[in-house]
Structures are given as structure tokens and as C-alpha cells.
Amino acid sequence: MATMNEWLDRLERAGRLKVIEEPCDVELEIAHIAYIEVKRSPSKVLLFKNPVNRKKGIEYNMPVVMNMFADFEVTEMIFGRAPDVIASEIEELLHMRPPEGLLAKLSLLPKLFALKSVFPKRVKGRGMCQQIIKSASQVDLDELPILKTWPEDGGPFITMGQVYTKSLDGKMQNLGMYRLQQYDKRRLGMHWQIHKDASHFFDQYKEAGKRMPVTVAIGGDPLYIWCGQAPLPYGMFELMLYGFVRDEPAKLVKSITNDIWIPEDADIVIEGEVDPNVLEIEGPFGDHTGYYTLKEPYPVMDVTAVTMKKKPIYQATVVGKPPLEDKYMGWGTERIFLPLLKTTAPDLIDYHMPESGVFHNLILAKMQTHYKGHAKQFMHAFWGVGQMSFVKHAIFVDSSAPDLTEYEAVTEHILNRISPERLLITEGIVDALDHSSPESLVGGKLGIDATAKEVSDSVESLLDDDELLRVMRGIDESVTGVRQYFTHTRNPICVISYDKRRSVQKLFNDMAALHSHLKILVVVDAEKNSLDNPYMLVWRVTNNIDAMRDIRKEPFIMVDATDKNELDGYEREWPGDVLCDKETLESLKKRGLIDIDDDFAKRFGLL
């Protein structure tokens, strides 16, 4: 176990820490600097020594650390070894058999004793996180450098909080990573979504008519926050995973004002309780989808105490358009949980969630196929497994496919095997942050079976981009641009930008006449997208489509990835893109705190 200070010392010695002495504002400035840094390769962990809030006239007495999971190398440092090594250890345990013979039994003992480490250890007395104690009457959340990360955010948000809750009967404790909006000096909005364990506990307290205890820890060993987002089964305390990875138990102390146990080395602890009958509007918030989450009512935490170390460090993150810190946290989760996923899908070879698909929007999976329909069986299995049930788009390839992270090669492999008959469109639950479905929490899902042999037919008459644009504008002058990708494959992708003045479904009716020139047509809004930026196009398309409404299979595959509105019969509010504040960027550039050009801004959709 290592404290946050010890981790920062390690990172500095390794040349992976960047210290910023100049005062930076908790409103936009710190988040914008971190947002840009993590998009570089390699990127560094950032330590802001002198955070300020100019609007409130506050100079904080604690630094802010950002981008703790800065890249693959730093993330591997935090795990202590490669995630694939941890995965192999899990796989070995899953396949353990009763030993035969004395030597075999003796060789098994170290493994069995090591399992003791998974169980958190409760420590008597107070921990480092309780060196300073402020009671309810002394609490002032303005003393913490809580960030406002995006211009349209509803206020400042705690973004790297370890949220500890327990079931009504006290038998289960949960660690989740949920954002918390600061309403005032003593109240926080609790953004636990309906599918999360904390929300299930909340329902228990509401039914019993009791106030729910909650404790939020910030800082400490950075592995805690990764454990908080790990997709463990309901009822399993996430800090058991900490013990397995660290090979030593997490050391916990009891909160001062409730019965929840938290890591003794946390930097800051916020204790409180939630009245199940009180809800308050939370948001908007620039979220990890790259869109703003809209205003919705959520429970409120009344703070009963704040405790901290004598020299605490405040940890935060910024989410928005990829790539971001969650890319590397997600990489660790993806690799470590592969053996557990194989227990449900034993013919799974590998899987990968590209960060441009913001994880739950796109999964690539490689499998051993044994019979017709095997891939479709896998699709249903994936959509029925824990966090995988939120995945919107799943593409399956067989063992002959390239490595799933070789994007050009695996895309070519897939495009040579796609046909309308190999698309499965169905309906299921979607993430609460999904905005594309006609209604919240339920939406369309797309499965693509690319495990079979290459298809035989291709485009009958391939036109170049200029000629195709001329033909399309003859059909609809609102088509403003054309860019074709992978024209050497059986299924070239044609992306068009469209100045939308009518439903794209009506445009599809007219474009059907071009069946001899097209195999896959994707439509995006002209105003927001660059046809020459495939990374951000994948982000846009996977975010913006509901498969049941936006994909047409005949006479060729057509995809409507435009923003939806009344033209499409869309009745929900469509959220805006997360965009940087231009004045803030200019100020940071003048002060030498960031160094970006127009190409960088366009590549990552900053403005």
C-alpha cells in the first residue's frame, strides 16, 4: 500500500510527473490543461501546486492531481505488473482442481494463503485520513478545490470520488465511482444511475423509510479508484479486487459519523447521509460520452463530517471526448476481466473496446466458431452479462482475424465479411448516459457477424469522391461532402456530410437509387464533423445511432448518424457536444501552460 504522496514521488523519479507551480483556476483552467495533456503521447500525471478560485477569491491550501492514469506505462505502474499477468493469475485460479498427492497439495498452499489478501482488513482507531476532523457545523466544501470542468456544467463536481455505500442490512458494502455535484457548502448531488449497486441500496433505504449513510473518499492509493469502476458482480465488495492485485489487504477505518469503512490512507473523506425522499436537479455535466448529460433529479447527500490528512492532495479527472484517462483505466479492466468473461463465453478468444467508441458503444470480439449462428449466440450472451449488457454495438470475428487493436487490418477483415444478412438488430437496455435511443434506458443494439468467409459481391461501379458528390447533390443539394474509406474491400464505407433539412430516412429513400455505387452509407451532420477524421467519426457514429431506428439494410446498409430532432420524430432533448472554452484556451496558451495548434484542436474536436 502506498499513499498518494508516495505515488507522486515515484512518478517524479520516473519522469512521469509534471508539476505546475503557476496558480490555475479550478473553474475550467485545470480541467482544460489536463484534457489536452492526456491527448498527447506520452502524457504525464499533472500536479497543480497552487489551485485558485478567482470568482470566489479562494487560494486553496492543497494541490490538485490530474491524469493519474496518464498512459499505458503509468497505469501498469499502478497495477504493479502488466494487466495480462493479473489476468493469467485469475485464469489459473478459475481452473484450479483438487490436488493429487502430497507435493501437489504443498504447491497449492501459497496460492491459498495468498487469497487471504483479498479480504479488506479493518483497523482499530483512526487512520491517516482522520488526522483532521471537521464536524457538521464546521464543514465548508468550498475549502476543497472542487473543479468545474466544462462551460455548461451545472456547477463544480467531484469527479474522482470513491463512493462507499452499504446495504440496509449491513451485509454488503459497495465501492462505486460516481460524480457528485456541489450545491453549496454542505450538500452534494449523488449521480448514481438506476443500474448501479448504490442505487439498489438506495431503494432499500427508501422502502424502509430510513436515511442512507454514504462516505466519499478522495485520493490515497490510486488503485482504489480503478477498483470503484471495475464490473464486479452485485454484492462483491470492490476492495477485494484491490487485495488480489496488490497481494495485501486494503486497510480500512470506520467513518466518524456512520458505520461505513473506508481506506485509512485516503487524503480526504466526506461523510454524510441521504434522505430518500429528497431529490434535486443534478447537471448538466460534460460526460465521458463527449456529450453533456442533461439535468435530472437525483438524491442529495447532507454532509455530516469532513476528515483529511494533514497535507492532503485532491484528486480529480476530466471526462469528455476521447482519448482520456478512462482509456487507460478501461484497458486495465478489459485485460484483467477477460478470464471472467470467458467463463460465460468459453469460446471467446479476446475482446477489445476501442476508446473512440467510449467503451459501452462498441466492442470487438474474437471467437472460435463451431456452428452456424454461433456468433449470434455470443451476441446474446454478451448482452446478458453484467456491464456488457450496456454495449450497443458488437462486432464478432473468428480466430483468423488480425489482432483487435490493429484497427486498419481488422477493419479490412470485417468489411470483407459484412452483408445485410449478417447484421442482427435487436433491443435491450442501454446506459443511462445514452442519448440516441427514443426513450431513456432502453434502445436498439447492433450485432455484426464477421466470422464467416469473405462475401463474394462488391460495388458494381465504384465512383471517386468528386463524381459521387456530384451525383448525390443531383439527388439532394444538402449533401455537402463525400469521403470514401476502404474502397479496396468488399464493402467500401461512404461517409457523407449533410445539411439536414429533412429526415435522413427520406434521404435514404432517394439514395437507394445508387445501389450499384454503394455498399455502406453513413450520414453525419455537416456542421459538426470532419470527413477526414475517422477517429472522431467513429466516436460520433457510435454515440449517435439507435440501431432499430437508424440502420437500414436494403438495398444496401445505410446508417443515420446525424443529431436527431423533430424531423425524426425524436421527442427527447438532444444534448450538446462537450467543447472547450475558447477564451480559456487562449489565456492558457498566452501563459505558456498549453501548446496546441489548430490541427490539434480539430483532430480532437476541442472547439
223 with 274, same domain: the answer is yes
Task: Give yes or no for a contact between 63 and 311, defined as CB atoms under 8 angstroms apart.
Answer: no
352 with 375, same domain: the answer is yes
Task: Give yes or no for a contact between 594 and 525, defined as CB atoms under 8 angstroms apart.
Answer: no
Tell me, what's the pLDDT at 194? 65
389 with 475, same domain: the answer is no
User: Which grid coordinates are listed for 137?
Assistant: 457545523
Chain segment 346-373, per-residue pLDDT in tens: 899 999 999 998 878 999 999 999 888 8
510 with 430, same domain: the answer is no
473 with 423, same domain: the answer is no
The domain boundary, picked from 269, 300, 315, lies at: 315
301 with 364, same domain: the answer is no
Over its C-alpha atoms, the chain yields an Rg (Å, rounded) of 25
Q: Domain residues for 251?
A: 4-81+113-315
In a domain, 500, yes or no: yes
In a domain, 579, yes or no: no
Chain segment 78-108, per-residue pLDDT in tens: 999 999 998 888 777 655 455 455 444 444 4
Mean pLDDT of 434-459: 92
Out of 197, 221, 265, 287, pick the active-site residue: 287
Between CA 269 and CA 190 the distance in angstroms is 15
Tell me, what's the pLDDT at 94? 58
The domain boundary, picked from 450, 476, 492, lies at: 450
Element (H, E) at 342: helix 338-344
240 with 178, same domain: the answer is yes
CATH code (residue 131): 2.30.110.10
CB atoms within 10 A of CB 199: 18
Mean pLDDT of 185-205: 83
The whole model's pTM is what?
0.92
In a domain, 337, yes or no: no
Tell me, what's the pLDDT at 431? 84
User: Which grid coordinates are listed for 304?
Assistant: 455530516
In a domain, 102, yes or no: no
In a domain, 523, yes or no: yes
User: Which grid coordinates are listed for 492?
Assistant: 467500401
Residue position matching grid coordinates 453549496: 184
User: Which grid coordinates are listed for 507?
Assistant: 434521404
118 with 175, same domain: the answer is yes
418 with 523, same domain: the answer is no
Chain segment 489-529, per-residue pLDDT in tens: 999 999 999 999 999 999 999 999 999 999 999 999 999 99
The 3 state secondary structure assigned to 88-144 is HHHHHHHCCCCCCCHHHHHHHHHHHHHHHHHCCEECCCCCHHHCEEEEHHHCCHHHC
155 with 253, same domain: the answer is yes
CATH code (residue 421): 3.40.1670.10
Active site residue 550: no
Number of structural domains (the chain) is 3
371 with 311, same domain: the answer is no
In a domain, 331, yes or no: no
188 with 268, same domain: the answer is yes
In a domain, 606, yes or no: no
In a domain, 573, yes or no: no
Which residue pairs from 406-413 have beta carbons closer than 8 angstroms and sit at least 24 positions apart in sequence?
407/354, 410/364, 411/486, 412/486, 412/488, 412/489, 413/450
